[in-house]
Amino acid sequence: MEENEKMMVYQDETVIAYVEEKNPVAKIHFVVTAKDAAKAPTSLIGVTDDNSPLLGHMMRVVAQIAKEQGLQDGYRTVINSGKHAVQNSPSLQIDIIGGQLLTWPPGVEANPPSTAVVNINATNPEVNDLCN
């Protein structure tokens, strides 16, 4: 799908954000990426100090769009970095998924069980109190 065919959510001189229509994994799924892929790192492993302004701006755009999309109950940001993470873009992009309960480990379950929250710190009473 060409950039001009994507359903844009946000655009400025540095980044674009669009609805993930090809393989959405949640009710709300959008992607934030650099407008000029040549100026973006190819993955997190390739990030340098020079990329800090771009990455910081991308995260601010993520927060802005999440708020505009009504994701105040929460959302997940995903950055696939490298072939083992199934990175399918030549440059770093941030996927934002939400609009429904997300499970852990990462994934989306249509009808989560009532015990979806797992207490991994059962031996720590202070954390245990917070989880119950």
pLDDT digits (tens, 9 = 90+) for 76-128: 998 887 776 666 777 788 989 999 998 887 754 555 544 444 444 444 455 44
- Greater confidence (110 vs 27) lies with 27
Arithmetic mean of pLDDT over the chain: 78
In angstroms, the CA 78 to CA 70 distance is: 18
Amino acid identity for residue 72 in this structure? Q
Structural contact between residues 39 and 53, judged by C-beta atoms closer than 8 angstroms: no
Contact (CB, 8 A) for 130 and 119: no
Q: Confidence band (pLDDT; 50, 70, 90) for 63? A: very high
pTM of the model: 0.71
Residue 131 in contact with residue 117, Cβ under 8 Å? yes
Work out the average pLDDT over 62-82.
90
Residues 38-47 have a mean pLDDT of 84
User: Are 81 and 43 spatial neighbours (Cβ–Cβ below 8 Å)?
Assistant: yes
